[in-house]
Amino acid sequence: ALPPPSSEPLRDCPLCPRLVAYRRANQAEHPDWFNGPAPSFGDPEARLLVVGLAPGRMGANRTGRPFTGDYAGVLLYETLLKLGFARGRYEARPDDGLQLVDCMITNAVRCAPPGNKPETSEETNCRQFLTGTIEALPRLKVIVTLGDVSRRNVLRALGLKASAGIAGHGSEFAAGPYTVLNSYHCSRLNTNTGRLTAPMFEAVFERAKALLDG
């Protein structure tokens, strides 16, 4: 039998040449930044997995923790704190002591893509680590997907077709042994335009909580 897929890429993962070049350029310009594949963050016993798109250049790519320092992280971490999926305080630094509770956060693509836009081949290359992350969580029940790239990659990481899910904010469907809850991505663009409001985002995590408590 094949070994299980790895949940974490190598620190200098070579699989996506365009993203490797971007990491190197960022490293040359900002040697004090993380500039690598952002590892998953959270509770290894999590029943809830949150899957983002990819690190922001000046956010997770700088700090090394998903959504940390990204504008999107403010709403995400404040919502997790409010619902009890995190404790402590989010201060946009990886050493702020914030702890996730019954929750883990990862990204469909682990390296920052130029313009926040990964190419399809990069999603494909990185999907093995998403599969590995899912398989490494023994208690996992609910997956929150942030945006459509996340939704499609989670389905494919589970060996399903992207069409097996339902697009759009608030959709809910079974995917293998898990329930997927889909949300619009909590990016600055979506929150500034009102496409995604804080109550809309909270409702997704309230539903996750109800599924886990039920």
Where do contacts with ligand DU occur on this chain (CB under 6 A)?
52-56, 59-60, 66-67, 70-72, 107, 116, 185, 187-188
In the complex with ligand DU, the residue whose CB is nearer, 2 or 98, is 98
Residue with smaller CB distance to ligand DU, 37 or 165: 37
State the residues that interact with ligand SF4 by CB under 6 A: 9, 13, 15-16, 19-20, 37, 109-111, 122, 125-126
Nearest approach, Cβ of residue 132 and ligand SF4 (Å): 11
- What is the token pair recorded at 111? 């390296």
Q: Of the two residues 106 and 182, which places its CB atom closer to ligand SF4 in the complex?
A: 106
Contact 160, 66 (CB under 8 A): no
Structure-block tokens of residue 14: 């070579």
* Distance (Å, whole) CA 61 – CA 114: 11
Greatest C-alpha distance within the chain: 50
Shortest approach of ligand DU to residue 61 CB, angstroms? 8
Q: What is d(CA 122, CA 94) in angstroms, rounded to the nearest whole number?
A: 26
Q: Which does 53 bind (CB under 5 to 8 A by kind): ligand SF4, ligand DU, none?
A: ligand DU
Instruction: Please choose which of ligand DU, ligand SF4, none residue 125 contacts, taking the beta carbon within 5 to 8 angstroms, the exact cut-off set by kind.
Output: ligand SF4
**Residue 26 or residue 187: which is nearer to ligand DU going by CB?**
187
Q: Which does 155 bind (CB under 5 to 8 A by kind): ligand DU, ligand SF4, none?
A: none
For the chain, list the strands marked E by DSSP: 41-42, 48-52, 86-87, 99-100, 103-107, 142-146, 172-175, 178-183
CA distance 90 to 87: 9
- What is the nearest approach in angstroms of ligand DU to the Cβ of residue 174? 24
Q: Which residue is it, tokens 């599969």?
A: 131
Pick the closer one to ligand SF4 by CB: 109 or 181: 109
Q: What is the DSSP letter of 97?
A: -
